[in-house]
A = this chain, B = another copy of it.
Amino acid sequence: MNTRVARATISDVAKAAKTGKTSVSRYLNGEQHLLSDDLKARIEFAIKQLDYRPSQMARGLKRGRTRLIGLIIADITNPYSVDILSGIEAACREKGFTLLMCNTNNELDQEQHYLDLLQSYQVEGIVVNAVGMNEEGLNRLQQSALPMVLIDRKIPGFACDVVGLNNAKATKEATEHLIQQGFEAILFISEPTGTVNTRRERLDAFRQTTSQHQGVAAENAQAPLHDASQIDDILRNFHSRYRGMRKAIISANGSLTLQVARSLRRVGLNWGSDIGLLGFDELEWAELAGVGISTLKQPTWDMGYCALNQVISRIEGDKSSIKESTFDGVLIIRGSTSC
């Protein structure tokens, strides 16, 4: 038994099996039909004996195929992202790829940094679930011609596969549910839309849907996620302005819904009785919060799974034109909108 700490290399195996590296390599790469049974057995034994595992580094260097996929994620703390991640992860496992995970913490320069990093590790493809992307980053990326798919976000002028929610349809469904429940004033609240297409699309659909219904007052407000007092103001204001009417809030994403719920608590409004509340993204605690919070659940896992399979199909040479995969959301009605 070998007591060295260093790992066995292919040469060690070859030596132990009394053969050349080539045969070992063949053995490893499924070209076993080319090997005699005897040789095969020797190699197998040597590998087991030495506890040999080929170096992916060397392999990657040689073949250019690292079997690595880069994932850029805006905020690992966000349950939405985590669900996506979970689907990506499953697909990776299935397909024999490994994830290089990068959390940008919502910072643009981190995003850039990680993009570089991923390239330097020669990832074969990239999945991005991030905030935005500056021009320099885009150029580099486009020029690198690395297979890439964007989740939940399109970037204007950047042709690239995308997977996301059918925002128009989902928003319409959510809004109509509220109208049907008899809410007369609806506030759509989101983080500052900026160039984030998801927020824009949802807002637009909200406006369009409400505009088709007489007598429904539609409002919208934007606030940074962590500006509690601004959110308080918005909600208080909305509530007092429509005194005497049935009011509801739509929150554009899960993290925001949490903040909105906290804010409602602070300003002393109860969802369900004082005001309606519906949030995009399912929350594990939605049913436990008071009378429950209605949500629009995205099939996050499937989206992640789909995204990864999409990159892989590109990696494997799929040259078809840009693909946009959209998924339908599911409205989950709870006490906050069924009063």
Contact = CB atoms under 8 A, between A and B. Distances in A.
A76 B283 CA distance: 16
B265 A287 contact: yes
Interface string A59-81: 01100001000000000110100
Given A57-B122, A83-B77, A89-B76, A98 B100 contact: yes
Contacts of A258: 284-285, 288
A245 interface: no
Nearest to A70: B98
Q: Which 7 A-B pairs have the closest CB atoms?
A: A285-B285, A101-B101, A288-B289, A57-B60, A53-B120, A57-B61, A56-B121
Contact of A5 (B57, B145, B283, B289): B145
A195 B7 CA distance: 31
25 contacts: A7-B119, A53-B116, A53-B120, A55-B122, A56-B121, A56-B122, A57-B61, A57-B66, A76-B89, A77-B82, A77-B83, A86-B103, A89-B103, A93-B110, A98-B117, A99-B101, A100-B100, A100-B101, A101-B101, A258-B288, A262-B287, A285-B288, A285-B289, A288-B288, A290-B290
A215 interface: no
Contacts of A145: 5
A98 B119 CA distance: 13
A258 B117 CA distance: 38
Contacts of A323: none
A51 interface: yes
Interface string A30-64: 00000000000000000000010111111011000
A179 interface: no
A5 B64 CA distance: 13
A218 interface: no
Interface residues of A, number: 49
A246 B144 CA distance: 66
A94 B228 CA distance: 30
A261 interface: yes
A186 to B, nearest CB: 22
A140 interface: yes
Interface string A181-192: 000000000000
A105 to B, nearest CB: 8
Contacts of A54: 120
A287 B76 CA distance: 22
Contacts of A178: none
B76 A82 contact: yes
A98 to B, nearest CB: 6
B55 A58 contact: no
Contacts of A231: none
Q: Which of A53, A79, A287 has the most CB of B within 10 A?
A: A53
Contacts of A103: 85-86, 89
Interface string A276-294: 0000000111011110000
Nearest to A103: B89
Contact of A61 (B58, B79, B82, B287): B58
